[in-house]
């Protein structure tokens, strides 16, 4: 809890040299070349999954090995890297990957979205609009959106090739018939460039509209599944839906308790065992920037209030 409110924007941690005995950014040059070739192909066919020879990385599959390999093969000494995990710069995954690249590539790192040239992310897209000189790298656990409904890989690749995506709508149909609405809240399937159905990685569907015609290059890496795919800048990305059940994003009953933002993705935080909770921005950088600019939420001293359990659910935003 304490940690949540002591976030510091630790900009530009010192520039150190690459680790002794390791190549720049860990991977050897041949591997980087192979991955860059894969990325080029992926960019050329937006949304299409391109296989690549995924390497062992010094952390387990599922921790972002795919994203790290993309970052490692793109990063140059002049780049500034930001790594987020669930929107936050200070969670384990983000901290360790950021440290990995500052040690193996000696690059500058930042927590500020606007400063970064490469942003590696797990589960979120930053709230700040990305620009066309930035690259966002997604960590992807399961790249195949059709897998859970059609387990045969051969059949699935044929469906992609022939653009037979009726089955994806069967999934949405099942959701509506069971829950009365499309219940998929993350990893919500999208149609890229009117051609390929793509898994946007487990970002909340709140972030899906941000992918549409995004000025930044979007790259997706799945290390275990050995796939890379991409959405080039300014490409159309449409979330799948029905005419009578249109796609919509999450809404919250409150604003961010810290910065009062009413248009960012909020995390629900349980404060005690008496049912008190607060909603705060999941994008820590966005939240901090707003607090610095003087925006306030309904909690001025969140830690003390939390301890006293005086929070009530329905307060007005600042």
Which one of residues 59, 91, 169, 269 is an interface residue with another protein (CB under 8 A)? 169
Taking the least distance from each CB to another protein, the nearer of 155 and 268 is 155
Binding mask 118-157 for another protein (x = CB under 8 A): -------------------------------x--------
Backbone angles phi, psi at 214, to 5 degrees: -70, 135
Q: Binding segment for another protein among 34-42, 73-81, 165-173, 293-301 (CB under 8 A)?
A: 165-173
Q: What residues contact 23, with CB distance under 8 A and at least 6 apart? A: 29
Distance of closest approach, residue 184 Cβ to another protein, in angstroms: 14
17 labelled catalytic: no
What is the rounded distance in angstroms from the CA atom of residue 267 to the CA atom of residue 87? 10
Residue 162 binds to another protein (criterion: CB under 8 A): yes
Distances (CA, A) of 248 to 38, 143, 251: 33, 23, 9
Q: What residues contact 245, with CB distance under 8 A and at least 6 apart? A: 172, 176, 181, 182
Distance of closest approach, residue 170 Cβ to another protein, in angstroms: 5
Which of 64, 87, 287, 297 is the catalytic position?
287
287 labelled catalytic: yes
Count of positions (residues) in the chain: 318
Site residues for another protein, 234-263, by CB under 8 A, read: 241-245
Which of 67, 255, 256, 260 is the catalytic position?
256
Which one of residues 178, 251, 293, 316 is an interface residue with another protein (CB under 8 A)? 178
Which of 47, 66, 223, 297 is the catalytic position?
47
What is the rounded distance in angstroms from the CA atom of residue 44 to the CA atom of residue 40? 6
Question: Residue count at the site for another protein (CB under 8 A)?
Answer: 19
What is the rounded distance in angstroms from the CA atom of residue 211 to the CA atom of residue 231? 8
* Structure tokens given for 216: 């930044």
259 labelled catalytic: yes
Which of 66, 67, 255, 259 is the catalytic position?
259
Which of 281, 294, 297, 317 is the catalytic position?
281
Q: Binding segment for another protein among 121-129, 175-183, 204-212, 301-309 (CB under 8 A)?
A: 175-183
What 215-218 contacts at long range (C-beta under 8 Å, 24+ apart), as own/partner pairs, is 215/129, 215/130, 215/131, 215/132, 215/134, 216/130, 216/131, 216/132, 216/134, 216/135, 216/136, 217/43, 217/134, 217/135, 217/136, 218/135, 218/136, 218/138
Which one of residues 8, 177, 263, 312 is an interface residue with another protein (CB under 8 A)? 177
For residue 83, the cross-strand partners are 120
Distance of closest approach, residue 249 Cβ to another protein, in angstroms: 19
Distance of closest approach, residue 171 Cβ to another protein, in angstroms: 8
Residue 170 binds to another protein (criterion: CB under 8 A): yes
256 labelled catalytic: yes
Distance of closest approach, residue 213 Cβ to another protein, in angstroms: 22
Q: What residues contact 300, with CB distance under 8 A and at least 6 apart? A: none
Cα torsion through 104, 106, 107, 108, rounded to 10: 120
Taking the least distance from each CB to another protein, the nearer of 37 and 158 is 158
Contacts to another protein by CB under 8 A: 149, 158, 162, 164-167, 169-170, 173-174, 176-178, 241-245
Query: Which amino acids are annotated catalytic?
Result: 47, 256, 259, 281, 287
């Amino acid at each position: 809890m304490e940690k949540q409110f002591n976030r510091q924007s630790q900009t530009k941690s010192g520039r150190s040299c690459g680790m002794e005995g390791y190549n720049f950014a860990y991977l050897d040059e041949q591997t980087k070349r192979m991955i860059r070739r894969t990325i080029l192909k992926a960019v050329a066919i937006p949304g299409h999954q391109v296989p690549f020879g995924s390497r062992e990385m010094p952390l387990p599959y599922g921790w972002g090995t795919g994203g790290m390999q993309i970052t490692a093969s793109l990063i140059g000494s002049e780049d500034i890297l930001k790594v987020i995990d669930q929107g936050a710069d200070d969670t384990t995954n983000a901290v360790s990957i950021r440290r990995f690249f500052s040690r193996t590539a000696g690059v500058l790192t930042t927590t500020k979205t606007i400063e970064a040239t490469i942003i590696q992310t797990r589960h979120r897209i930053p709230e700040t609009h990305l620009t066309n000189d930035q690259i966002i790298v997604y960590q992807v656990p399961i790249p195949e959106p059709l897998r859970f409904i059609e387990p045969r890989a051969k059949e699935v690749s044929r469906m992609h090739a022939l653009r037979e995506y009726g089955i994806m709508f069967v999934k949405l149909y099942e959701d509506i018939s069971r829950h009365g609405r499309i219940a998929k809240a993350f990893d919500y399937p999208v149609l890229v460039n009117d051609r390929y159905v793509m898994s946007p990685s487990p970002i909340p569907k709140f972030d899906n509209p941000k992918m549409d015609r995004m000025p930044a290059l979007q790259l997706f890496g799945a290390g275990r599944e050995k796939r890379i795919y991409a959405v080039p800048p300014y490409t159309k990305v449409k979330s799948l839906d029905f005419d009578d059940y249109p796609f919509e994003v999450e809404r919250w009953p409150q604003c961010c308790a810290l910065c009062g933002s009413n248009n960012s993705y909020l995390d629900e935080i349980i404060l005690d065992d008496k049912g008190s909770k607060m909603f705060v921005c999941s994008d820590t950088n966005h939240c901090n920037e707003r607090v610095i600019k003087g925006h306030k939420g309904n909690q001025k001293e969140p830690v003390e209030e939390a301890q006293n359990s005086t929070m009530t659910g329905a307060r007005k935003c600042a």
